[in-house]
Structure 1
Amino acid sequence: MAASKVTVHFPCPLEQVWHTVTDLTHTAWRSDLARVEVLDEAHFVEHTKSGYATAFTVTACQPLHFWAFTMENGNMSGSWEGIFEAAEGGTLLTCTETVTAKHWWMRPFVPGYLKRQQKLYLCDLRKELLK
């Protein structure tokens, strides 16, 4: 299992950060995704630009404070948690992600992959929030 935790400050109101992260109907800002398929309030599927699908199940939602879900695809399973906090001059978002590779040969690559994905997501989010 690989884990990554990062806290980022955005110079934006808490409500704006929360809405951007949790609004699954407006995800064009995500450079890695082709689309998100919302199945119901607790389930959605992300489709990458290369056509790979990952299923998500929301496990907790405390508006403007905490959002968490599990995720699974053919290569991995894991979880993501986001803590949203008002801070001086904006919002702090703490993301914690854990991933377990389903194939033994993938395990050495998971930590690097996880860091790259988290960095890309937060970079895309910053661009969207500051436009």
Structure 2
Amino acid sequence: MATSKVTVDFRCPVERVWRTVTDLAHTAWRSDLKRVEVLDETHFVEHSKNGYATGFTVTACEPPRYWVFTMENGNMSGSWKGIFEAAADGGTRLHCTETVNAKRWWMRPFVPGYLKRQQKRYLDDLRKELLK
């Protein structure tokens, strides 16, 4: 199991960061995704640009404070937790914790590096979107 914790600051209101992260109908800002399929209030599937599908189940949601979900595909299972804090200067501090378990033993050594790259890409994409 690999866990990555990242805290980033954005110079925009917490409501805007929350809306951007949780709006599954508008994910064109994500450079890794082809599309997101919303199944119901708590289930969605992300389809990567290379055609790989990952299922998600929202396990906790309190707008605009935190969003938590589990995820699973053929290679891994895990969870993601985002805590959104309004800063005194009107900005936002986002704390992300992601845990991933590889389903195949030979993949386990590669998971920490993969996880760090994925989180960096996601947060870079988010930063670019919020600067618009």
TM-score, L = length of structure 1: 0.99
Identity rate of aligned residues, in percent?
A: 80
Report the 3-state secondary structure (helix = DSSP H, G, I; strand = E; otherwise coil) of the residue aligned with 1:12: coil
Question: How many correspondences in the alignment?
Answer: 131
Matched with 1:105 is 106
Determine the C-alpha separation between the residues in 2 that align with 1:109 and 1:34: 24
Matched with 1:47 is 47
Matched with 1:80 is 80
Determine the C-alpha separation between the residues in 1 that align with 2:88 and 2:129: 20
- Amino acid paired to 2:120: K
- Amino acid paired to 1:31: S
**Once the 2 structures are TM-superposed, how far is the Cα of residue 88 of structure 1 from its aligned partner?**
3.0
| Deviating 4+ runs (over 3 angstroms) | none
1:122 matches 2:123? yes
Give 5+ residue unaligned stretches, structure 1.
none
1:38 matches 2:55? no
Report the 3-state secondary structure (helix = DSSP H, G, I; strand = E; otherwise coil) of the residue aligned with 1:51: coil
Matched with 1:19 is 19
- Amino acid paired to 1:113: Y
Determine the C-alpha separation between the residues in 1 that align with 2:88 and 2:76: 37
Determine the C-alpha separation between the residues in 2 that align with 1:115 and 1:56: 19
Matched with 1:7 is 7
Determine the C-alpha separation between the residues in 2 that align with 1:31 and 1:52: 14
